[in-house]
Amino acid sequence: MAIPKPAPGQGKWWVIGVVGVVVMTAFATWFGIAASRGVDFGVAQVHNINDRSIQLVFNVGNQDGKSVICNLEAQDYSHNEVGVANVTLPPTKKSVAQYTVTIKTVSKAVTALVDSCNYN
């Protein structure tokens, strides 16, 4: 069975369509790969120690044997930043590693969070 030929004057639209499909497929593939890379992180527990410190237990995934720098933040009732900590985590091959950090604060904190984590 022969492949049908496009009508005269329609060949350029077939080329544009095929190129468009190839470009969009490449973009979707790139976006999917880019979205799945990088460090994953999340809060596991928060413990109030006293009015000047709070303890944060958090999980970090996808370290891939690399050290990671995480920026941690303590907040008060009004979500004001009352303490920060920048920690360098050692390399690990674990799929998810758990860390505990005490954040010094200038006033009573009610919660803490992981602001960001990036490869060192």
Which has the closest alpha carbon to 115: 78, 93, 86, 94?
86
This model's pTM is above 0.85: no
Instruction: Tell me whether residue 31 is in a domain.
Output: no
Instruction: Tell me whether residue 30 is in a domain.
Output: no
Most distant CA pair in the chain, distance: 81
pLDDT band at 9 (very low <50, low <70, confident <90, very high): confident
List, as own/partner pairs, every contact residues 1-7 make where C-beta atoms lie below 8 angstroms and the sequence separation is at least 24, other chains included. Answer: none
The residues pairing with 48 across neighbouring beta strands, listed in sequence order, are: 54
CA of 10: how far to CAs of 13, 15, 17, 22, 116, in Å?
5, 9, 11, 19, 52
Amino acid at 48: N
Instruction: Tell me whether residue 69 is in a domain.
Output: yes
pLDDT band at 18 (very low <50, low <70, confident <90, very high): confident
- Mind listing the pLDDT tens digit for each residue in 61-106? 988 899 999 999 999 999 999 999 999 999 999 999 999 999 999 9
- Mind listing the pLDDT tens digit for each residue in 28-59? 887 777 666 688 999 999 999 999 999 999 99
Quote the number of domains for the chain.
Answer: 1
Instruction: Tell me whether residue 92 is in a domain.
Output: yes
Expressed as residue numbers, the domain containing 74 is 40-119
CA distance 100 to 56: 6
Can you give the CATH number for the domain in which 66 is found?
A: 2.60.40
